[in-house]
Chains A and B, each alone.
Chain A
Amino acid sequence: MTENVKENTPIIRVKELEKYFLAKRGYIHMSQYVKAVDGISLDVMEGETVGLVGESGCGKSTLGRTIMKIYEPTGGEIFYRGQNITKLSNKKMHNLRKSMQMIFQDPYASLNPRFTIGDIIEEPMVIHNMYTKAERKEKVYELLELVGLKPDHIRRYPHEFSGGQRQRVGIARTLALNPDFIVCDEPISALDVSIQAQIINLLEKIQDEQGISYLFIAHDLGMVKHISHKIGVMYLGHLVEFGDADEVYNHPLHPYTEALMSAAPIPDPKLARESKRIMLKGEIPSPLDMPTGCPFASRCPRCREECLAGPPIMVNVGDRKVACFDYL
């Protein structure tokens, strides 16, 4: 975690963002939608890392992709440095993509196997008409050094590299355009434990030097806590809790956050024996047929009558935001 966060200057502001996917087209019956992202608001400050956690299918990747405008948002607004980019055309987005980039989960699928490492890292600069050919080459060497690869790797192909090295190539490609906001979509999930720490440290080093903001999506709670300043917890398309990373981790307010944090296996046998795990009962509701009340009500140990009536709104509890009737 780096120290150079500029509070009060949001680089990305998301307001009531919605992304629905059409699941079933209907004529007589209504069309059915999967509400992958349903009314999410959050800010990412300059030089800050915001971690997003949640179970698979909770919409965390969709949120990342919608912010990048890979998916067209269904509703809500996205601001980049105060500029509303929700309705921008692909052509106008093209210029902005220099400053907004993405690192993908699978370092095997996201690199073109027929390109050399040099070509892969150079490509974004070619697309954006940046620098002369000689300058680009120099930049590639610079980037290789930055991510900890050797200069002679430039002529090699992706298949000659291990997973961790490929992820480094992916990071170098992302940095080629000097972005100031990067969405990291599970960048370490496919890597071995001893390699994960290398990539996390690299991302932190880059943030320290260049003041880049990250939206860090992952399901490994320990790593997310380590790298993030703030953590957002998602459940079925809703943001249920958002706040300072240590606070959310150590003193969760929302019952789902509490269950999620207690479920994470602790790599410390004594603590693991002492800690009480909160077992969630009940089934996750189908995203096609969402309950009218709180989305977590069916599994919540603190569920009351009012929870089933309508969805809870997000309220501020100290510096934190929680969506739960307990705090309303």
Chain B
Amino acid sequence: MKLLEIKNLTTEFKTGQGIVKAVRNVNYSLEKGEILGIVGESGSGKSVGMLSLMGLLADNGRIVSGSIIFDGEEISPISEKYKNNKKAYEKRMQEIRGNDIGMIFQDPMTFLNPILKVGTQIEEQILRHTKCSKKEARERAIELMKKVGIPSPEKRIDQYPFQFSGGMRQRIIIAIALSCNPKLIIADEPTTALDVTVQSQILELLQQIAEETGTAIIMITHDLGVVATLCQKINIMYGGQIVEHGTTDEIFYNPKHPYTMGLLRSIGTHTNGERQSLIPIPGTPPDLLKLNSGCAFMPRCSKAMKICKDYMPCRTQFSEDQYCSCWEYCKDSADKIVQEQSAAVNG
């Protein structure tokens, strides 16, 4: 059974300038123990997708359509079960968050409460989700701190966040995320604020955790180096959609979508030997308020055709895992897709 299955998820925000569709028709699934990387530029919807899943959208955001199945249970707020019962949804999500799904955020300083000891903050979550005494919770907290590589945890458990360095704070957050043995950890740019030497330590730690505990990890990042090191599968997001999905090797050595190819070309090869010139992707990321009805990448794409502007390409499967949405690969069935989409608009 799949651990997480997201089908046709669409999330939108009401803003002063109009409705922004931050996530559009996103589908993917995750096996137990798998590490999935979600790569995209700022505004590509990678974080909003995760917030929708956790039920943490801001007040002006809402899930328009789609279903989210976590560990066999439907947890979308618009499902039959929760549609008219917001209280039940909130209650259930509070049980799931922290217990079944752990979260690691980008900025370790804003996540931790500066006036509480780190021990208190780890214990808090354990006490909330499991039946145990305060003493047991403290022991478990020390054990967790040891696990994430904090030296002399017995002493440091009574210190405050400001007494920790950036990397150590991120370790505390990982300890909190791990505290209830979650089935899934969502890491939203966990190493962006850290130095490279610390980053490699944190990545190593995450890998070790995945191997030891069998926890699945969703890694949200814009750094292709990070996904190459850590992830088994990758979603490439652009303009709120998944434009390509595949195993790490497929994405890096055999990319299909023009955006993925452009991304790889624009970082150049860092391998030994010849220096290659960087080939940037021209233009800028799309304005989500002014999207055309077709492919979001069309204005920057070197292979753009007439049809790309008005009609959405369909998904082409290349291997067991890899698929991509680009007109380049579904030209032959163009007439049928155009008919379907026109019918959907008119009807």
The secondary structure that dominates the A interface is: helix
Partner-contacting stretch, out of B275-283, B303-311, B321-329 = B275-283
Q: Which of B226, B249, B278 contacts A265 (CB 8 A)?
A: B226
Partner-contacting stretch, out of B195-203, B209-217, B288-296 = B195-203
Residue of A nearest to B267 (CB): A267
Q: Given A198-B280, A250-B272, A267-B270, decide whether A222 and B197 contact each other with a Cβ distance below 8 A.
A: no
A194 to B238, CA, bound (A): 12
**In contact, B280 and A270 (Cβ under 8 angstroms):** no
A270 to B248, CA, bound (A): 10
Is B139 engaged at the interface, CB distance under 8 Å to the other chain?
no
A221 to B223, CA, bound (A): 13
Is B57 engaged at the interface, CB distance under 8 Å to the other chain?
no
**In contact, B42 and A271 (Cβ under 8 angstroms):** no
**In contact, A193 and B267 (Cβ under 8 angstroms):** yes
**In contact, A194 and B252 (Cβ under 8 angstroms):** no
Residues of B within 8 A of A246 (CB): 275
Q: Which of A222, A259, A265, A280 contacts B203 (CB 8 A)?
A: A265
Q: Which of A192, A195, A250, A268 contacts B269 (CB 8 A)?
A: A268
Chain A residues numbered 188-205 whose CB sits less than 8 Å from any CB in chain B: 192-198, 200-201
Residue of A nearest to B268 (CB): A226
Residues of A within 8 A of B42 (CB): 192
**In contact, A265 and B277 (Cβ under 8 angstroms):** no
Chain A, residues 207-236, CB within 8 Å of chain B (1/0): the string is: 000000000000101100110000000000
Q: Which of A162, A265, A266 contacts B199 (CB 8 A)?
A: A265
Cβ-Cβ contact count across A and B, 8 Å cutoff: 120
Q: Which of B196, B200, B280 contacts A197 (CB 8 A)?
A: B280
Is B113 engaged at the interface, CB distance under 8 Å to the other chain?
no
**In contact, B278 and A226 (Cβ under 8 angstroms):** yes
Interface size of B by Cβ–Cβ distance < 8 Å? 43
Is A93 engaged at the interface, CB distance under 8 Å to the other chain?
no
Residues of B within 8 A of A192 (CB): 41-42, 222, 285
Residue of B nearest to A250 (CB): B272
A56 to B193, CA, bound (A): 10
A193 to B42, CA, bound (A): 10
Q: Given A194-B41, A195-B284, decide whether A277 and B200 contact each other with a Cβ distance below 8 A.
A: yes
**In contact, B196 and A219 (Cβ under 8 angstroms):** yes
Residues of A within 8 A of B269 (CB): 268
Residues of A within 8 A of B203 (CB): 265
Is B75 engaged at the interface, CB distance under 8 Å to the other chain?
no
A195 to B266, CA, bound (A): 8
Residues of B within 8 A of A260 (CB): 196-197
Chain B residues numbered 38-63 whose CB sits less than 8 Å from any CB in chain A: 41-42
Q: Which of B195, B200, B249, B262 contacts A270 (CB 8 A)?
A: B249
Is B93 engaged at the interface, CB distance under 8 Å to the other chain?
no
Chain B, residues 212-241, CB within 8 Å of chain A (1/0): the string is: 000000000011111011000000000000
The 7 closest A-B pairs by CB, nearest first: A265-B225, A197-B280, A197-B266, A263-B200, A197-B278, A198-B280, A267-B224
A–B complex contacts, Cβ < 8 Å, 19 sampled:
A165-B284, A193-B222, A194-B266, A194-B280, A194-B281, A196-B267, A196-B280, A197-B278, A197-B281, A226-B275, A263-B196, A268-B252, A268-B270, A268-B271, A269-B249, A272-B225, A280-B197, A283-B165, A284-B165
Excluding A196-B267, A197-B280, A269-B248, 13 further A-B contacts by CB distance (< 8 Å) are A55-B195, A192-B41, A192-B222, A192-B285, A196-B280, A200-B278, A219-B195, A265-B199, A266-B271, A269-B252, A270-B249, A272-B229, A279-B201
Please list the residues of chain B having a beta carbon within 8 angstroms of any beta carbon in chain A. Answer: 41-42, 165, 195-201, 203-204, 222-226, 228-229, 248-249, 252-253, 262-272, 275, 277-282, 284-285
